[in-house]
Amino acid sequence: MKYTQLSQEDINEMLQVVGISDIKELFKDIPENEKYTYKYLQEKGLTEIELRELFSNYAKSDHDILDYKSFLGGGFYQHFIPSIVYSILARSEFYTAYTPYQPEVSQGSLQMIFEFQSMISEITGLPISNASMYDGATAFTEAFLMAYRLFRGKKKKFLYAESVNPIYKNVLKTYMQFNPNFQMEEIPTRNGKLDIEYLRNHIDEDTAGVGISYPNFYGQIEDLGEIVKIIKDNKSIAIATYYPIVSSVLKTPGEIGFDIVVGNGQSLGNPIYFSGPTFGFFSTKMDFIRQMPGRLISETVDEDGKRGFVMTLQTREQHIRRERATSNICSNQTLNTLAAAVYLSFIGKHGFKKLGERILKLTAYAMQKFKEVGICIKYDPKRIFNEFVLDIDNSSEIVKKCLDKKIIAGISLEKLTDENGLLIAITEMNSTRDIDALIKAIKE
Protein backbone atom coordinates (compact mmCIF):
# COMPACT_ATOMS: atom_id res chain seq x y z
CA MET A 1 0.00 0.00 0.00
CA LYS A 2 1.04 3.59 -0.33
CA TYR A 3 -0.13 6.48 1.79
CA THR A 4 2.04 9.28 0.40
CA GLN A 5 0.79 11.49 -2.41
CA LEU A 6 3.79 13.06 -4.14
CA SER A 7 4.57 12.39 -7.78
CA GLN A 8 8.19 12.23 -8.91
CA GLU A 9 7.67 15.61 -10.54
CA ASP A 10 6.44 17.03 -7.21
CA ILE A 11 9.50 15.64 -5.46
CA ASN A 12 11.90 17.13 -7.99
CA GLU A 13 10.27 20.52 -7.74
CA MET A 14 10.31 20.44 -3.95
CA LEU A 15 13.96 19.41 -3.80
CA GLN A 16 14.77 22.37 -5.98
CA VAL A 17 12.97 24.78 -3.66
CA VAL A 18 14.82 23.32 -0.68
CA GLY A 19 18.05 23.68 -2.65
CA ILE A 20 19.19 20.08 -2.65
CA SER A 21 19.39 17.33 -5.24
CA ASP A 22 18.60 14.27 -3.16
CA ILE A 23 16.39 13.56 -0.15
CA LYS A 24 19.46 11.95 1.46
CA GLU A 25 20.86 15.40 2.10
CA LEU A 26 18.08 16.02 4.59
CA PHE A 27 19.57 13.23 6.71
CA LYS A 28 23.22 14.22 6.52
CA ASP A 29 23.29 14.97 10.27
CA ILE A 30 22.48 11.36 11.13
CA PRO A 31 25.70 9.51 11.89
CA GLU A 32 26.50 6.82 9.38
CA ASN A 33 24.48 3.96 10.73
CA GLU A 34 25.51 0.37 10.38
CA LYS A 35 23.37 -1.21 7.74
CA TYR A 36 19.74 -0.72 8.68
CA THR A 37 18.48 -4.30 8.66
CA TYR A 38 15.24 -5.96 9.63
CA LYS A 39 14.92 -9.31 11.29
CA TYR A 40 11.16 -9.66 11.13
CA LEU A 41 9.43 -7.15 8.87
CA GLN A 42 9.24 -8.07 5.21
CA GLU A 43 10.62 -5.81 2.54
CA LYS A 44 7.50 -5.03 0.58
CA GLY A 45 4.15 -3.86 1.80
CA LEU A 46 0.96 -5.82 1.25
CA THR A 47 -2.11 -4.75 -0.70
CA GLU A 48 -5.60 -4.60 0.75
CA ILE A 49 -6.43 -7.86 -0.96
CA GLU A 50 -3.52 -9.56 0.79
CA LEU A 51 -4.14 -7.87 4.14
CA ARG A 52 -7.75 -9.03 4.24
CA GLU A 53 -6.72 -12.57 3.46
CA LEU A 54 -3.95 -12.58 6.05
CA PHE A 55 -6.02 -11.13 8.86
CA SER A 56 -9.03 -13.31 8.25
CA ASN A 57 -6.61 -16.19 8.83
CA TYR A 58 -5.47 -14.59 12.11
CA ALA A 59 -9.11 -14.19 13.04
CA LYS A 60 -9.96 -17.80 12.18
CA SER A 61 -7.25 -19.11 14.43
CA ASP A 62 -9.17 -17.53 17.28
CA HIS A 63 -11.10 -20.81 17.26
CA ASP A 64 -14.87 -20.70 17.29
CA ILE A 65 -14.84 -19.20 20.76
CA LEU A 66 -17.41 -16.56 19.81
CA ASP A 67 -20.02 -19.27 19.38
CA TYR A 68 -19.64 -20.16 23.03
CA LYS A 69 -21.96 -18.94 25.78
CA SER A 70 -19.86 -16.91 28.17
CA PHE A 71 -20.22 -16.15 31.86
CA LEU A 72 -16.91 -14.32 32.15
CA GLY A 73 -16.68 -11.14 34.20
CA GLY A 74 -13.93 -10.16 36.61
CA GLY A 75 -13.84 -6.54 35.49
CA PHE A 76 -14.91 -6.92 31.84
CA TYR A 77 -18.57 -7.66 31.09
CA GLN A 78 -20.44 -8.54 27.91
CA HIS A 79 -23.26 -6.09 27.46
CA PHE A 80 -25.52 -5.16 24.60
CA ILE A 81 -24.04 -2.46 22.34
CA PRO A 82 -26.58 -0.65 20.15
CA SER A 83 -25.81 -0.43 16.46
CA ILE A 84 -25.86 3.37 16.61
CA VAL A 85 -22.78 3.30 18.85
CA TYR A 86 -20.70 1.77 16.05
CA SER A 87 -22.34 4.06 13.53
CA ILE A 88 -21.29 7.20 15.42
CA LEU A 89 -17.85 5.83 16.29
CA ALA A 90 -17.24 5.39 12.57
CA ARG A 91 -17.60 9.13 11.94
CA SER A 92 -14.09 10.17 11.13
CA GLU A 93 -14.80 13.79 12.15
CA PHE A 94 -14.63 12.30 15.64
CA TYR A 95 -12.02 9.59 15.40
CA THR A 96 -9.49 11.51 13.28
CA ALA A 97 -9.64 14.68 15.41
CA TYR A 98 -6.94 15.53 17.92
CA THR A 99 -7.32 16.68 21.52
CA PRO A 100 -9.58 19.76 21.38
CA TYR A 101 -6.88 22.42 21.88
CA GLN A 102 -8.59 24.84 19.44
CA PRO A 103 -12.12 25.11 20.84
CA GLU A 104 -13.56 27.09 17.92
CA VAL A 105 -13.08 24.06 15.67
CA SER A 106 -13.54 21.31 18.26
CA GLN A 107 -16.99 22.00 19.65
CA GLY A 108 -18.15 18.55 18.56
CA SER A 109 -15.56 16.82 20.73
CA LEU A 110 -15.91 19.30 23.58
CA GLN A 111 -19.69 19.19 23.82
CA MET A 112 -19.64 15.40 23.58
CA ILE A 113 -17.14 15.17 26.45
CA PHE A 114 -19.23 17.63 28.49
CA GLU A 115 -22.27 15.39 27.96
CA PHE A 116 -20.15 12.37 28.92
CA GLN A 117 -18.94 14.08 32.10
CA SER A 118 -22.57 14.87 32.95
CA MET A 119 -23.68 11.26 32.46
CA ILE A 120 -20.78 9.87 34.50
CA SER A 121 -21.55 12.29 37.33
CA GLU A 122 -25.13 11.07 37.26
CA ILE A 123 -23.94 7.47 37.49
CA THR A 124 -21.35 7.95 40.22
CA GLY A 125 -23.44 10.43 42.18
CA LEU A 126 -20.57 12.91 42.42
CA PRO A 127 -20.65 16.41 40.93
CA ILE A 128 -17.48 16.44 38.82
CA SER A 129 -16.04 13.88 36.44
CA ASN A 130 -13.02 14.13 34.17
CA ALA A 131 -12.74 13.35 30.47
CA SER A 132 -11.34 9.84 31.21
CA MET A 133 -8.33 7.86 32.40
CA TYR A 134 -6.74 4.79 30.71
CA ASP A 135 -8.76 2.15 32.57
CA GLY A 136 -10.24 1.25 35.95
CA ALA A 137 -6.99 0.08 37.51
CA THR A 138 -4.98 3.19 36.67
CA ALA A 139 -7.91 5.40 37.71
CA PHE A 140 -8.02 3.59 41.06
CA THR A 141 -4.29 4.25 41.51
CA GLU A 142 -4.67 7.91 40.55
CA ALA A 143 -7.39 8.20 43.20
CA PHE A 144 -4.88 7.21 45.90
CA LEU A 145 -2.30 9.63 44.53
CA MET A 146 -4.93 12.36 44.66
CA ALA A 147 -5.79 11.51 48.26
CA TYR A 148 -2.08 11.87 49.05
CA ARG A 149 -2.02 15.34 47.46
CA LEU A 150 -5.20 16.40 49.27
CA PHE A 151 -3.27 16.12 52.54
CA ARG A 152 -0.21 17.73 50.96
CA GLY A 153 1.72 14.55 51.52
CA LYS A 154 1.32 14.76 55.30
CA LYS A 155 -0.65 11.51 55.52
CA LYS A 156 1.23 8.61 54.03
CA LYS A 157 -0.78 5.50 54.73
CA PHE A 158 -3.22 3.86 52.33
CA LEU A 159 -5.57 1.02 53.09
CA TYR A 160 -7.14 -1.06 50.36
CA ALA A 161 -9.39 -4.08 50.53
CA GLU A 162 -8.15 -7.54 49.61
CA SER A 163 -11.56 -7.91 47.95
CA VAL A 164 -10.61 -5.41 45.22
CA ASN A 165 -9.90 -6.87 41.74
CA PRO A 166 -6.38 -8.45 41.99
CA ILE A 167 -5.12 -6.59 38.92
CA TYR A 168 -6.17 -3.25 40.41
CA LYS A 169 -4.20 -4.07 43.55
CA ASN A 170 -1.19 -5.06 41.47
CA VAL A 171 -1.26 -1.84 39.46
CA LEU A 172 -1.55 0.13 42.68
CA LYS A 173 1.51 -1.66 44.08
CA THR A 174 3.47 -1.07 40.87
CA TYR A 175 2.85 2.66 41.03
CA MET A 176 3.56 2.94 44.75
CA GLN A 177 6.74 0.84 44.92
CA PHE A 178 9.16 3.63 44.01
CA ASN A 179 7.96 6.12 46.56
CA PRO A 180 9.27 5.18 49.99
CA ASN A 181 6.80 7.64 51.54
CA PHE A 182 3.79 5.53 50.68
CA GLN A 183 2.74 2.92 53.15
CA MET A 184 0.28 0.37 51.81
CA GLU A 185 -1.79 -1.98 53.89
CA GLU A 186 -4.30 -4.61 52.77
CA ILE A 187 -7.59 -5.09 54.63
CA PRO A 188 -8.29 -8.82 54.73
CA THR A 189 -11.51 -10.43 53.53
CA ARG A 190 -13.90 -12.33 55.78
CA ASN A 191 -16.82 -14.19 54.28
CA GLY A 192 -16.40 -12.47 50.96
CA LYS A 193 -16.37 -8.95 52.38
CA LEU A 194 -13.72 -6.73 53.86
CA ASP A 195 -13.11 -7.18 57.55
CA ILE A 196 -14.75 -4.13 59.09
CA GLU A 197 -13.08 -4.63 62.46
CA TYR A 198 -9.69 -4.74 60.82
CA LEU A 199 -10.47 -1.46 59.07
CA ARG A 200 -11.64 0.10 62.33
CA ASN A 201 -8.45 -0.99 64.10
CA HIS A 202 -5.97 -0.09 61.41
CA ILE A 203 -7.23 3.24 60.15
CA ASP A 204 -5.37 6.02 61.93
CA GLU A 205 -4.50 9.69 61.74
CA ASP A 206 -1.78 8.96 59.18
CA THR A 207 -4.27 7.30 56.79
CA ALA A 208 -4.83 9.38 53.64
CA GLY A 209 -7.27 7.11 51.88
CA VAL A 210 -9.12 3.82 51.94
CA GLY A 211 -10.03 2.06 48.70
CA ILE A 212 -12.72 -0.57 48.23
CA SER A 213 -14.65 -2.07 45.33
CA TYR A 214 -18.42 -1.78 44.76
CA PRO A 215 -19.35 -4.63 44.17
CA ASN A 216 -16.12 -6.35 45.16
CA PHE A 217 -14.18 -8.91 43.14
CA TYR A 218 -16.25 -11.75 44.62
CA GLY A 219 -19.44 -10.02 43.50
CA GLN A 220 -20.38 -9.04 47.05
CA ILE A 221 -21.60 -5.60 48.01
CA GLU A 222 -19.66 -4.48 51.06
CA ASP A 223 -21.24 -2.82 54.11
CA LEU A 224 -20.70 0.45 52.34
CA GLY A 225 -22.48 2.81 54.74
CA GLU A 226 -20.51 1.58 57.70
CA ILE A 227 -17.22 1.62 55.81
CA VAL A 228 -17.76 5.21 54.71
CA LYS A 229 -18.66 6.24 58.26
CA ILE A 230 -15.43 4.78 59.65
CA ILE A 231 -13.39 6.51 56.97
CA LYS A 232 -15.16 9.85 57.41
CA ASP A 233 -14.92 9.74 61.20
CA ASN A 234 -11.20 9.38 60.68
CA LYS A 235 -11.11 12.30 58.18
CA SER A 236 -9.60 10.11 55.47
CA ILE A 237 -10.64 9.96 51.81
CA ALA A 238 -13.14 7.25 50.85
CA ILE A 239 -12.31 5.75 47.44
CA ALA A 240 -14.48 3.28 45.52
CA THR A 241 -13.89 1.50 42.25
CA TYR A 242 -17.28 0.93 40.75
CA TYR A 243 -19.11 -1.18 38.16
CA PRO A 244 -21.21 1.58 36.59
CA ILE A 245 -24.12 -0.65 35.52
CA VAL A 246 -24.93 -0.99 39.23
CA SER A 247 -26.31 2.57 39.19
CA SER A 248 -29.24 1.35 37.13
CA VAL A 249 -30.94 0.08 40.29
CA LEU A 250 -28.69 0.46 43.33
CA LYS A 251 -27.59 3.48 45.31
CA THR A 252 -24.75 5.42 43.72
CA PRO A 253 -21.43 5.55 45.57
CA GLY A 254 -21.75 9.33 45.76
CA GLU A 255 -25.08 8.99 47.54
CA ILE A 256 -23.47 6.57 49.98
CA GLY A 257 -20.74 9.12 50.71
CA PHE A 258 -17.61 8.17 48.78
CA ASP A 259 -15.25 11.05 47.97
CA ILE A 260 -13.59 9.66 44.86
CA VAL A 261 -15.31 7.16 42.58
CA VAL A 262 -13.50 5.49 39.69
CA GLY A 263 -13.97 2.44 37.51
CA ASN A 264 -13.71 0.71 34.17
CA GLY A 265 -16.23 2.13 31.72
CA GLN A 266 -16.07 -0.76 29.25
CA SER A 267 -19.56 -1.96 30.14
CA LEU A 268 -20.97 1.37 28.91
CA GLY A 269 -21.05 0.73 25.17
CA ASN A 270 -17.52 -0.55 24.56
CA PRO A 271 -16.60 -3.98 23.17
CA ILE A 272 -14.30 -5.95 25.47
CA TYR A 273 -11.50 -6.11 22.83
CA PHE A 274 -9.44 -8.64 24.77
CA SER A 275 -9.14 -5.94 27.51
CA GLY A 276 -8.78 -2.66 25.66
CA PRO A 277 -9.19 0.04 24.67
CA THR A 278 -11.68 0.83 27.37
CA PHE A 279 -11.79 3.93 29.56
CA GLY A 280 -11.46 4.74 33.22
CA PHE A 281 -13.89 7.19 34.74
CA PHE A 282 -13.00 9.47 37.63
CA SER A 283 -15.48 11.47 39.74
CA THR A 284 -15.09 13.54 42.85
CA LYS A 285 -16.36 16.51 44.84
CA MET A 286 -16.09 20.13 43.77
CA ASP A 287 -13.77 20.94 46.71
CA PHE A 288 -11.16 18.57 45.35
CA ILE A 289 -11.13 19.89 41.80
CA ARG A 290 -7.64 21.40 41.86
CA GLN A 291 -6.07 18.08 42.76
CA MET A 292 -7.95 16.15 40.12
CA PRO A 293 -5.95 14.34 37.41
CA GLY A 294 -6.85 14.45 33.71
CA ARG A 295 -8.75 16.77 31.40
CA LEU A 296 -11.85 18.70 32.35
CA ILE A 297 -14.32 20.32 29.97
CA SER A 298 -16.33 23.33 31.11
CA GLU A 299 -19.23 25.24 29.67
CA THR A 300 -18.49 28.88 28.83
CA VAL A 301 -19.49 31.49 26.25
CA ASP A 302 -17.85 32.96 23.16
CA GLU A 303 -17.43 36.68 22.47
CA ASP A 304 -21.00 36.86 21.16
CA GLY A 305 -22.31 35.20 24.30
CA LYS A 306 -23.03 31.87 22.59
CA ARG A 307 -22.76 28.81 24.79
CA GLY A 308 -19.74 26.64 24.06
CA PHE A 309 -17.23 24.37 25.75
CA VAL A 310 -13.50 24.55 26.48
CA MET A 311 -10.83 22.54 28.26
CA THR A 312 -10.36 24.14 31.65
CA LEU A 313 -8.08 24.25 34.69
CA GLN A 314 -5.22 23.16 32.46
CA THR A 315 -2.74 24.51 34.98
CA ARG A 316 -3.16 21.13 36.76
CA GLU A 317 -1.86 19.33 33.69
CA GLN A 318 1.57 18.18 32.56
CA HIS A 319 1.90 20.41 29.48
CA ILE A 320 1.84 23.47 31.76
CA ARG A 321 2.79 22.31 35.23
CA ARG A 322 5.38 19.69 34.10
CA GLU A 323 6.88 17.86 37.12
CA ARG A 324 4.35 19.49 39.48
CA ALA A 325 1.31 18.33 37.48
CA THR A 326 -1.45 16.34 39.19
CA SER A 327 -0.71 13.44 36.83
CA ASN A 328 1.44 12.70 33.79
CA ILE A 329 -1.65 11.69 31.77
CA CYS A 330 -1.91 13.33 28.34
CA SER A 331 -3.66 11.10 25.78
CA ASN A 332 -6.65 9.47 27.45
CA GLN A 333 -9.45 7.34 26.00
CA THR A 334 -11.83 9.92 24.54
CA LEU A 335 -13.15 7.84 21.66
CA ASN A 336 -14.30 5.26 24.20
CA THR A 337 -16.15 7.99 26.08
CA LEU A 338 -18.01 8.81 22.85
CA ALA A 339 -19.18 5.19 22.83
CA ALA A 340 -20.37 5.63 26.41
CA ALA A 341 -22.19 8.89 25.66
CA VAL A 342 -24.05 7.40 22.68
CA TYR A 343 -24.75 4.20 24.63
CA LEU A 344 -26.21 5.99 27.63
CA SER A 345 -28.24 8.30 25.38
CA PHE A 346 -29.79 5.27 23.71
CA ILE A 347 -30.30 3.11 26.79
CA GLY A 348 -31.74 6.22 28.39
CA LYS A 349 -33.34 7.01 31.68
CA HIS A 350 -35.96 4.25 31.63
CA GLY A 351 -34.00 1.65 29.70
CA PHE A 352 -31.13 1.84 32.17
CA LYS A 353 -33.43 0.97 35.05
CA LYS A 354 -34.97 -1.90 33.09
CA LEU A 355 -31.51 -3.15 32.23
CA GLY A 356 -30.55 -3.29 35.90
CA GLU A 357 -33.79 -5.02 36.82
CA ARG A 358 -33.29 -7.62 34.08
CA ILE A 359 -29.78 -8.34 35.32
CA LEU A 360 -30.97 -8.63 38.93
CA LYS A 361 -33.75 -11.02 37.88
CA LEU A 362 -31.49 -13.18 35.73
CA THR A 363 -28.99 -13.34 38.57
CA ALA A 364 -31.73 -14.33 41.01
CA TYR A 365 -32.85 -16.97 38.51
CA ALA A 366 -29.34 -18.40 38.20
CA MET A 367 -28.83 -18.48 41.96
CA GLN A 368 -32.14 -20.24 42.48
CA LYS A 369 -31.38 -22.85 39.82
CA PHE A 370 -27.96 -23.55 41.32
CA LYS A 371 -29.61 -24.01 44.69
CA GLU A 372 -32.14 -26.42 43.19
CA VAL A 373 -29.37 -28.71 41.94
CA GLY A 374 -27.50 -28.49 45.21
CA ILE A 375 -24.58 -26.27 44.20
CA CYS A 376 -23.84 -23.67 46.86
CA ILE A 377 -23.16 -20.04 46.25
CA LYS A 378 -20.56 -18.60 48.55
CA TYR A 379 -21.21 -15.61 50.78
CA ASP A 380 -24.35 -13.51 51.23
CA PRO A 381 -26.92 -14.04 48.42
CA LYS A 382 -28.67 -10.80 49.38
CA ARG A 383 -25.59 -8.72 48.57
CA ILE A 384 -25.12 -9.82 44.98
CA PHE A 385 -25.79 -7.69 41.90
CA ASN A 386 -24.67 -9.85 38.97
CA GLU A 387 -21.57 -11.79 39.92
CA PHE A 388 -21.07 -14.58 42.42
CA VAL A 389 -18.71 -17.36 43.46
CA LEU A 390 -19.72 -21.00 43.21
CA ASP A 391 -18.47 -23.05 46.11
CA ILE A 392 -16.48 -25.68 44.22
CA ASP A 393 -12.87 -26.62 44.77
CA ASN A 394 -12.11 -27.99 41.30
CA SER A 395 -12.96 -24.81 39.43
CA SER A 396 -10.34 -25.11 36.70
CA GLU A 397 -11.49 -28.65 35.86
CA ILE A 398 -15.09 -27.47 35.72
CA VAL A 399 -14.10 -24.67 33.34
CA LYS A 400 -12.36 -27.20 31.08
CA LYS A 401 -15.31 -29.57 31.18
CA CYS A 402 -17.77 -26.86 30.23
CA LEU A 403 -15.63 -25.79 27.24
CA ASP A 404 -16.50 -29.14 25.64
CA LYS A 405 -20.14 -28.08 25.82
CA LYS A 406 -19.30 -24.72 24.24
CA ILE A 407 -19.77 -22.85 27.49
CA ILE A 408 -17.20 -20.60 29.16
CA ALA A 409 -18.38 -21.17 32.70
CA GLY A 410 -16.58 -18.31 34.41
CA ILE A 411 -13.24 -17.47 35.97
CA SER A 412 -11.45 -20.06 38.05
CA LEU A 413 -10.24 -18.33 41.20
CA GLU A 414 -7.69 -21.05 41.84
CA LYS A 415 -4.68 -18.93 40.88
CA LEU A 416 -6.17 -15.49 41.42
CA THR A 417 -7.23 -15.39 45.05
CA ASP A 418 -6.60 -17.24 48.31
CA GLU A 419 -9.83 -19.22 48.22
CA ASN A 420 -10.85 -21.39 45.28
CA GLY A 421 -14.23 -21.11 43.57
CA LEU A 422 -15.76 -20.29 40.21
CA LEU A 423 -16.61 -16.64 39.56
CA ILE A 424 -19.72 -16.33 37.39
CA ALA A 425 -21.06 -13.11 35.87
CA ILE A 426 -24.60 -12.68 34.53
CA THR A 427 -25.66 -9.92 32.18
CA GLU A 428 -28.62 -9.24 29.91
CA MET A 429 -26.73 -11.17 27.22
CA ASN A 430 -27.31 -14.45 29.11
CA SER A 431 -30.81 -15.87 28.60
CA THR A 432 -32.47 -18.27 31.04
CA ARG A 433 -31.79 -20.96 28.43
CA ASP A 434 -28.05 -20.19 28.59
CA ILE A 435 -28.15 -20.32 32.36
CA ASP A 436 -29.94 -23.70 32.28
CA ALA A 437 -27.27 -24.99 29.90
CA LEU A 438 -24.49 -23.74 32.19
CA ILE A 439 -25.95 -25.49 35.21
CA LYS A 440 -26.45 -28.68 33.28
CA ALA A 441 -22.85 -28.61 32.05
CA ILE A 442 -21.45 -28.04 35.53
CA LYS A 443 -23.66 -30.67 37.10
CA GLU A 444 -22.87 -33.41 34.58
Residue 376 as a binder of other proteins (CB under 8 A): the answer is: no
Residue 127 as a binder of other proteins (CB under 8 A): the answer is: yes
Q: Could you please report the per-residue DSSP string of 326-375? A: S----S--HHHHHHHHHHHHHHHHHHHHHHHHHHHHHHHHHHHHHHHTTP
Output 39 or 201, the one with its CB closest to other proteins. Answer: 39
Q: Which of 143, 227, 297, 340 binds other proteins (CB under 8 A)?
A: 297
Looking at 30-38, 153-161, 188-196, 202-210, which segment touches other proteins (CB under 8 A)?
30-38
Output 203 or 333, the one with its CB closest to other proteins. Answer: 333
Contact 54, 311 (CB under 8 A): no
State the Cα–Cα distance between residues 74 and 90, nearest whole angstrom: 29
- Burial (CB count within 10 angstroms: exposed 0-12, middle 13-18, buried 19+), residue 17: exposed
Q: Residues 195-214: x/- map of binding to other proteins (CB under 8 A)?
A: --------------------
Q: Residue 364: phi, psi to the nearest 5?
A: -60, -40
Strand order in the sheet with 387-390: 387-390, 422-425, 411-412
Output the smallest distance, CB 205 to other proteins, in A: 25
Output 84 or 233, the one with its CB closest to other proteins. Answer: 84
* Cis, peptide link before residue 271, omega less than 30° from 0: no
Q: How many residues bind other proteins (CB under 8 A)?
A: 205
Q: Which of 313, 394, 436, 443 binds other proteins (CB under 8 A)?
A: 313
User: What residue type is 209 in one-letter code?
Assistant: G
Residue 372 as a binder of other proteins (CB under 8 A): the answer is: no
Residue 43 as a binder of other proteins (CB under 8 A): the answer is: yes
Question: Which residues from 235-274 bind other proteins, rule CB under 8 A?
Answer: 247-252, 255, 264, 271-274
Q: Residue 69: phi, psi to the nearest 5?
A: -85, 130
Q: Which of 21, 95, 206, 376 binds other proteins (CB under 8 A)?
A: 95
Output 229 or 321, the one with its CB closest to other proteins. Answer: 321
Give the angle 289-240-287 at the CA atoms, nearest 5°. 20
Burial 413-429 (b: 16+ CB within 10 A, else e): bbebbeebbbbbbbbbe
Residue 229 as a binder of other proteins (CB under 8 A): the answer is: no
Question: Which residues from 52-91 bind other proteins, rule CB under 8 A?
Answer: 52, 54-63, 65-66, 70, 72, 74-76, 78, 80, 82, 84, 86-88, 90-91
